[in-house]
Amino acid sequence: MIDIALIRENPEAVKANIRRKFQEQKLPLVDQVAELDKLNREAILRADTLRAQRNSLSKQIGGLMQKGQKEEAEVIKQQVKDMQDELAALEVKENEYAAQIKELMMQIPQMVDPSVPIGRNDQENVEMERFGEPVVPPYEVPYHVDIMESLNGIDLDSSRKTSGTGFYYLMGDVARLHSAILSYARDFMIDRGFTYVIPPYMIRSEVVTGVMSFAEMESMMYKIEGEDLYLIGTSEHSMIGKFIDTILNEDQLPQVLTSYSPCFRKEVGAHGIEERGVYRIHQFEKQEMVVVCKPEDSMDWYKKLWQNAVDFFRTLDIPVRTLACCTGDLADLKVISCDVEAWSPRQQKYFEVGSCSNLGDAQARRLQIRARDKDGRRFLPHTLNNTVVAPPRMLIAFLENNLQEDGSVLIPKALQPYMGGKAVIR
């Protein structure tokens, strides 16, 4: 959510940003907010004037009563009552205006960073850099589910019976590999100075609307029936929610956290759920990075976060690239974002395994997360997040890039301690 002062001072800049994101249908929102804000400020000004007049008249009443001028006092009492009635009506208006303004403001996208490439959708995202040499082996690389099944590592038929499409049973060495990757990711981030956190897996609606746009909420979140609780789609949601309605001292920044959680997603939209596979599913686990920092430091942290993900994958010998998300592919709260994509030898192309985002002060503004400098001045900190690793999607890249011609899978040295010393699974 942007600062309403920007709409007051430079509405055309806000409209230009909306056009950059190809959301022309939202252009009228700017003028609607401006008009409501004008009416709201007029109501506030009128209420302040009435309060001052009421206070002055109230003092006169006391003086008149002391002098025995009861009739004159009664006239002024009626004036005060009329003012109180008008004040009550103005307070109702102020609340209505504030609610309408907030609803509209939450639909207006965050101002994107000037470096973000212009584009309508993810097809126009721009490659930033490649890390590692993509390899296509001289033998066939099967579909990832076939690799898992050859290792007795997955059971999709049973999960369809218990839960439906979009779920899975991981088994044996593949299940162990899944857990090993998460444990390694945890220690990798701790070694980089991040504090390990296990957060709540359910959050209230005020946190949901604070961390994401309405469109994301509708397509992602599962609601707990009869309760004001939602299953998290990523631990970022509850991690940022941890700071709701708090004031951090400047010396408490940055907050540098890495969190583990299961994640639950509807996956409503164009992509949908895979009938056979674990790339797009309803349930998965993830290790996340979250940073709350001073505004002037957020772009430096943005670069550090995506580099952490790149370095993690490279320690497992998986080639990756970074892809700058274009304006049309940015969620409304994001200032800038990039995807980390891993190489798929089977498809001979890269595919997304994580996403790094700088959300500026959008989440802080929505959730009333504030900070205070050494002079006592308050400011809104910036929030950032990035995926360290999200198996089982990451398992696809891992299995394809470490598969041998005989069907065995090599375990890189960095991961072997988490696999009981195993160097290969068969």
Residues 82 and 142 in one domain: no
Task: Using the predicted structure, report yes or no on whether residue 268 has a pLDDT greater than 70.
Answer: no
Residues 82 and 194 in one domain: no
Cα(67)–Cα(54) distance, rounded to whole angstroms?
20
Mean pLDDT score of the chain: 92
Residues 82 and 28 in one domain: yes
* CB-based contacts of 414, cutoff 8 Å, min separation 6: 184, 315, 316
More confident residue, 280 or 16: 16
Residues 13 and 160 in one domain: no
Helix (H, G, I), strand (E, B), or coil: what is residue 81?
Answer: helix
Question: Is the omega angle on the peptide bond into residue 28 within 30 degrees of 0, that is, cis?
Answer: no
Residues 166 and 17 in one domain: no
In a domain, 116, yes or no: no
Mean pLDDT across the stretch 51-57? 80
Boundary of a domain, candidates 45, 70, 105? 105
Task: Using the predicted structure, report yes or no on whether residue 70 has a pLDDT greater than 80.
Answer: no
pLDDT, one tens digit per residue, over 352-381 is 999 999 999 999 999 999 999 999 999 999
Name the pTM for this structure: 0.90
Residues 28 and 128 in one domain: no
Residues 386 and 262 in one domain: yes
CATH of the domain at 32: 1.10.287.40
How high is the pLDDT of residue 238? 96
- Beta carbons of 344 and 147 less than 8 angstroms apart: no
The number of distinct structural domains making up the chain is 2
In a domain, 199, yes or no: yes
In a domain, 113, yes or no: no
Residues 210 and 66 in one domain: no
Residues 126 and 100 in one domain: no
How high is the pLDDT of residue 230? 95
In a domain, 98, yes or no: yes
**Domain residue limits at 43:** 4-105
In a domain, 115, yes or no: no
Residues 158 and 294 in one domain: yes
Residues 90 and 173 in one domain: no
More confident residue, 220 or 270: 220
Question: Which is nearest to 186 in space by CA: 308, 297, 303, 306?
Answer: 308
Task: Using the predicted structure, report yes or no on whether residue 319 has a pLDDT greater than 80.
Answer: yes
In a domain, 374, yes or no: yes
Residues 88 and 155 in one domain: no
Task: Using the predicted structure, report yes or no on whether residue 77 has a pLDDT greater than 80.
Answer: no
In a domain, 249, yes or no: yes
